[in-house]
Chain A
Amino acid sequence: MIQIFFNSIISALMLALLALGFNLIFNATRVFHLTHGAIYVLGVFLVYTVQPTFGNWFAIPIAIVISINVALLVEYWVYRPLAQRHASAAISLISSLGVYTFLINLLAFFFGNEGVALDNSTQTFIYENAYFHINGIEAKQLLVGGLCFVGLTFFTKTQWYRNIRAISDSYEVSEKFGISVQQTRYIAMAVGSFLAIVSGLLNGFYTSTNPHDGLAITLMATVAVIVGGVRSLSGTTLACFVIALIDNFSVKILSQRWREVVIYALLIFVLLFFKEGLFSSKNRIEEQ
């Protein structure tokens, strides 16, 4: 029981990093950014390529920098022209899917469809008693995930984050108040992608990753974002914990095979009956 709870906390933390990144990007660019899943696995494959020659300490920063640049390129070359054309959400979702398909199959072309593992060392337990055990990688996940959360908390206090909130309300009004919309979109993209890569890498050191893993976890993150309310970061975090708990307990009670069904049934339930999310505050009636 304690073990399930603890595992839920760790998987919630990993999911929350991805979901918060998605939330930032979604609020700033208004694109349903499914390419997030490609960025998530891209980092792992870059580390996998560079790691044998240069070691982890060099590979990880390189992977982060390259992946963020790929995300910025996507924003520059795909999303920005669509935004200038005032394209609808559906059309940007489709082009995001196009980018996702392209990047994932580029990876599959070079690395094959099998998973790669970043760390082949045995996972020894660093703490163990009758109810509960924790291994080295889980400890690292907790530590790095926690650090990212602290960093994100500081980020929400900055002018940059306030700009993101502003442009998520209205591009026109923000521009009149002197906020550079395009720059803010780039910032949201960079920060969001950074969180996705960190989550991907932490997961990649734990289990093997194959190129097609990204979409399922990104859709799960979108479930968290919608359940938690699109506008609120804390709602998203809370929703990640709820989803991870439901996920782990449904694996325990039903079976591993039905967990996706449970998650998506939750998504549809929320979309049908709580459009603003479970935890978000109500909008004023005239805003709707």
Chain B
Amino acid sequence: MNWFNFIFICELYIMLTLSANIVSGYTGLLSFSYAAFYGLGAYATAILMKSAGVSFFPAMLIAMIFNLMLSTVLSYFAIRMKDVFFTIGTIGVQIIVFRFFYNADDLTGGSLGLSEIPTVSIFGYALNGSRDYAILGGVLLALVIGFFAFLQTTPFIRTLSCIRDRELGAITIGKPINYYKFVCNAIAAVVCTIAGALYATNSSYIDPTSFTLDESILVVSMLLIGGTGNLIGPIFGAFFYTALPELIRLIPISSSQGASLRLMLYGLILILVVRYRPNGVFGKFRFE
């Protein structure tokens, strides 16, 4: 087993789950479009690096701009739609974006995907092997965690919790809730872009099946199991869910059955957590 690859995947999911934490955990907007952001980040970075010859960090920044545009759409939904209808709207966005990846052959390569994505080079040093990527991912993850840890000390995050617990109360004390919803979606979009860009350059091949609705459901499950409203919960959830397939690999069954068994366990854990431990393992707030 490749430990560095495992660590790298773990880092990606921790980023995704942290961005889910700020939208769904703090603000209480249950969204299922994280895989859309993740995919858009991956595809935009990959296309810019491959076709336009842009290097990694500028490509990632441009991808962030695309993702911010998509997040504006979602913020508009969050303002116009109420709870479960917002969720259905985000599922719609997720499926439309997935279909775009799948069908726009000229741009994204369709179901065949994009291959031969260039590797990252930093100051002339080209990364190779999963160890280098794990280190790069670790540095970016540390930045992301540092940013969220800083955010925890600000009144901003308390206002988000206020919007989740009582939206009317937030309006009453004069908070511009539309602005807050926009900002929290934007932060999530930016963090998802980092994860997507790393994923695309590490695997050097992407296809639409990595960015399906199931992926979004997986991210939300990670968040629920770890618990919402703090930093340790999402990190634990992402780690737990990435480690589970490695354990299942020890059971002697075929790989497709193993995949089914893994998803079965995910579903079962999700039901059990919602039923018996709605706060998740480390959660500060009950997600409802």
Contact = CB atoms under 8 A, between A and B. Distances in A.
Contacts of A268: 77, 89, 92-93
B264 interface: yes
A68 interface: no
Nearest to A230: B85
B140 interface: no
B217 A91 contact: no
Contacts of A91: 274, 278, 287-288
A272 B84 contact: no
B270 interface: yes
Given A97-B217, A98-B267, A98-B270, A78 B275 contact: yes
A257 B95 CA distance: 12
B91 to A, nearest CB: 7
Interface in A160-211: none
Interface stretch (A6-14, A107-115, A236-244): A107-115
Contact of A258 (B87, B89, B103, B261): B103
Interface residues of B, number: 42
Counting chain B CB atoms within 10 Å of each CB, the highest count among A85, A94, A102, A113 belongs to A94
Given A97-B217, A275-B85, A258 B99 contact: yes
B83 A98 contact: no
Interface in B259-276: 260-261, 263-264, 266-271, 274-275
Contact of B84 (A93, A98, A109, A265): A93
A219 B32 CA distance: 14
A100 B89 CA distance: 19
Interface in B239-288: 256-257, 260-261, 263-264, 266-271, 274-275, 278, 287-288
A102 B271 contact: yes
Contacts of A215: 213
A220 to B, nearest CB: 11
Interface in A219-269: 219, 222, 226, 257-258, 260-261, 264-265, 267-268
A85 to B, nearest CB: 8
A136 interface: no
A85 B275 CA distance: 10
B232 interface: no
A88 B288 contact: yes
A37 to B, nearest CB: 12
B267 A264 contact: no
Contact of A102 (B30, B267, B287): B267
A258 B288 CA distance: 35
A276 to B, nearest CB: 11
B84 A89 contact: yes
A87 interface: yes
Contact of A109 (B87, B260, B287): B260
A106 B257 CA distance: 10
Interface in A78-96: 78, 81-82, 85, 87-91, 93-95
A51 interface: no
A93 B81 contact: no
A24 B261 CA distance: 32
A274 to B, nearest CB: 12
A99 interface: yes
B205 interface: no
B267 A271 contact: no
B96 interface: yes
Contact of B274 (A95, A100, A226): A95
Given A87-B288, A97-B217, A101-B264, A271 B95 contact: no
Contact of B99 (A112, A219, A260): A260
B77 A264 contact: no
B196 to A, nearest CB: 21
A108 B260 contact: yes
A264 to B, nearest CB: 4
A242 B91 CA distance: 21
Contacts of A89: 83-84
Contacts of B77: 268, 271-272
Interface string B9-24: 0000000000000000
Contacts of B89: 267-268, 271-272
Given A91-B288, A94-B224, A113-B256, A271 B30 contact: no
Given A105-B267, A275-B81, 5 more contacts: A81-B275, A93-B87, A98-B270, A109-B261, A112-B256
Interface of B: 28, 30, 77, 80-81, 83-85, 87-89, 91-93, 95-96, 99-100, 102-103, 213, 217, 220-221, 224, 256-257, 260-261, 263-264, 266-271, 274-275, 278, 287-288
Interface of A: 32, 78, 81-82, 85, 87-91, 93-95, 97-106, 108-109, 112-113, 215, 219, 222, 226, 257-258, 260-261, 264-265, 267-268, 271-272, 275
29 contacts: A32-B87, A88-B83, A90-B83, A90-B287, A91-B287, A93-B30, A93-B84, A94-B220, A95-B274, A98-B274, A100-B267, A101-B217, A105-B263, A109-B260, A109-B261, A112-B256, A219-B91, A226-B88, A257-B102, A258-B103, A260-B95, A261-B96, A261-B99, A261-B100, A264-B93, A267-B89, A268-B92, A271-B77, A271-B89
